[in-house]
Amino acid sequence: MTKSYEPPLTTNPHGPLYRVDKAIKAAQQRLDAAIDAKRHHTSQNLAHEVIKEAREGLKKSEQLRVLKIKELAQKAAETGNNPPGPLV
């Protein structure tokens, strides 16, 4: 259930998107853990609530990434520099 991102998630700790990409990875792990926990718990209401919160966290992380990409593109446009390719 892993989503593909454009540009791909970065693993370079010095990259401008590293912190937001790290947050996305953490949110995906929380969602996967919540789904796994649902399979093993009898309290389905609690499991649904945890999954809902994990999905919301993932959406917020993805929105933050989009904003960061737009911010980097705007800075590049203001300075007149064209980005050399994907921001990795």
Q: Tokens in use for 9?
A: 């998630």
pTM confidence score: 0.74
Q: Tokens in use for 36?
A: 């796994």
Tell which residue, 2, 22, 14, has the closest CA to residue 87: 14
Write the DSSP symbol of residue 16.
Answer: T
What is the identity of the amino acid at 84? P
**In the chain, where does DSSP find H-type helix?**
18-40, 44-79
Q: Tokens in use for 70?
A: 């737009």
- 7-57 pLDDT tens trace: 888 888 888 899 999 999 999 999 998 888 888 776 778 888 888 999 999
Residue ranges covered by each domain of the chain? 18-73
pLDDT number for residue 23:
92
